[in-house]
Amino acid sequence: MDCEALKKYTVLHPKPAGLTLQYGTAGFRTKAEQLDHVMFRMGLLAVLRSKAVVSTIGIMVTASHNPEEDNGVKLVDPLGEMLHPSWEEYATQLANAEDQELQKIITEICQKAAVNQHKDASVIIGRDTRPSSEKLSQSVIDGISVLGGQYHDYGLVTTPQLHYMVCCRNTQGQYGKATLEGYYEKLSKAFTELIKQSLSSGGSQRHLKVDCANGIGALKLSEMEPYFPKEVLIHLYNDGTKEKLNHLCGADFVKVHQKPPRGLDMKPNERCCSFDGDADRIVYYYKDATGHFHLIDGDKIATLISIFLKELLAKVGQTLRMAVVQTAYANGSSTRYLEETLKVPVHCVKTGVKHLHHKAQEFDVGVYFEANGHGTVLFSKAAETKIRQLAKEEKDDEKREAAKVLENMIDLINQTVGDAVSDMLVIEAILALKGLTVQQWDAIYTDLPNRLLKVQVADRRVIDTADAERRAVTPPGLQEKIDALVKKYKLSRAFVRPSGTEDVVRVYAEADAQENADALAHEVSLAVYHFAGGKGAPPQP
């Protein structure tokens, strides 16, 4: 380690006094002007991580669905997965260290994590379209260079594209070519193969309106357009040329406000979808003939994909274990449909993509989506090998064709992380192949009315949960109170959990009718306020 260079560069990227940040599920996120020192230090950390695992590590500069003034950074591990939890702690330590302690902390991390300083390090970088992202990614590069790491800057990419690049580089190209063209070619080839049956059977043009949240998704989707079959027409809205990133648009806005984004004019029964700011989430929606807005969220996306994959797995006749992974926020109707009608096992885990991803890895085919539209499908190595072999060698025509469709699905799905572009193409292919309209998809089951609220508390840590966050263990008496309230309503459930980011407790309730879901959510909020040290005035109905 060149201590002089480290000192010199630390002075160029000083830490503001009194600022502490926590590396969470989404990495670091805050106002862009507070992040320069963090970016520099994450460049340092990526070099250490690369040396520790002797692989290429990714760094993505983005704050996803946050406002344009914010920014953030997250590290990507060798197979395109999120940073290992033990290293999240090192990231937090390094980000919060005083300037003069940096060298000491780096040495400590090297000892704790058995980092061989003499190994080579390789880091790749990507960024979103925020005005602050270019300068901040330059600070990352300073950090990488100080510790002698090699880097490749991919510039403007979606978050899932960077995850894809990391995986390609560490599998020596087995997962795909580590270039944007490689990504576009891999996905579009699989998509075209899938959809050509439906096009040859006289399917007319397929139109889709896409709200790109004024973010990176617009840029990359327009680059990818020449790769699509000419029958598939994708119309881009909120493409970033006029308005601010995520402002009154994007997947998060549509999901939270249950209404269409600004700047997208919807005609009855048109298929529309929204990406979030860094294109790793997607939700669909449409207006019916009466002008009523219908949201199709992550639960319904997971259900559509599960129906399709289950039919194909039955056709190939293999005993491959399939399951769906959800969080407590998944609508009760989706869970009931999957378990009772589709007969697919459903597993509930704690909120946060890393918990879903981890659980999905236990199955041959693991489908996971959060209600917010972030999700993907994982195929075990054994399942993938078996499917590819059947697609090549199976004598029975029907079985072989089904295996080929599955093989194309494997290539179309970005297994490293939720990917709005990939998920959109998966959904479009399934709707085309099954001949489903957006209304028919929506009608698979009816969501139970629900309500999400938050309660301000003095300290969110007084609430501790168990059973995948579905039951409150502390403070004493709270869960009993919730159980009593839930008994008052039909088809109802409710749970509370501390926010991961602020001193609020999130309350979720669902019931047979909207007024009942609202009433239950309000009553549970009051219980939280009284049992868990509410701040300010009690919640109002």
Residues at the binding site for substrate are 370-372, 497-501, 506
Which phi and psi angles does 239 have, rounded to 5°?
-95, 10
Backbone torsions φ then ψ of 93, nearest 5 degrees:
-60, -45
Q: By the 8 A CB rule, do 367 and 305 touch?
A: yes
Paired with 450 in beta bridges are 510
Binding-site positions read: 64, 276, 278, 280, 370-372, 497-501, 506
Distance (Å, rounded) from C-alpha 485 to C-alpha 508? Answer: 13
Q: Residue-wise over 508-538: b if at least 16 C-beta within 10 A, else e?
A: bbbbeeeebbbbbbbbbbbbbbebbbbeeee
d(CA 234, CA 57): 33
Rounded Cα distance between 433 and 308, Å, is 9
Which residue stretches of 36-84 are H helix? 36-53
Residue with tokens 């088809």: 491
Please count the residues of the chain. 541
- Please give the Cα distance from 442 to 438 (Å, whole number): 6
Question: How far, in Å, are 259, 268, 433 from residue 400 at the CA level?
Answer: 43, 39, 17
Q: In terms of C-beta density within 10 A (0-12 exposed, 13-18 middle, 19 or more buried), how is residue 156 classed?
A: middle
Residue 450: closest CA among 255, 158, 182: 255
Active site residue ranges: 64
- Which residue, among 93, 94, 56, 59, has the nearest Cα to 74 in the 3D structure? 59
Cβ within 8 Å of residue 73, ≥6 positions away: 27, 28, 35, 38, 39, 42, 59, 60, 61, 62, 136, 140
Cα separation, 270 vs 293, in Å, equals 11
Dihedral sign for Cα 414, 137, 94, 144, please: positive
Question: 371 near 253, Cβ under 8 Å?
Answer: no
Tell me which H or E stretch contains 144.
helix 133-146
Of 133, 125, 106, 94, give the one whose Cα is nearest residue 48.
106
CA distance 519 to 125: 48
Q: Which residues are annotated as a binding site for Mg(2+)?
A: 64, 276, 278, 280
Contact 300, 326 (CB under 8 A): no
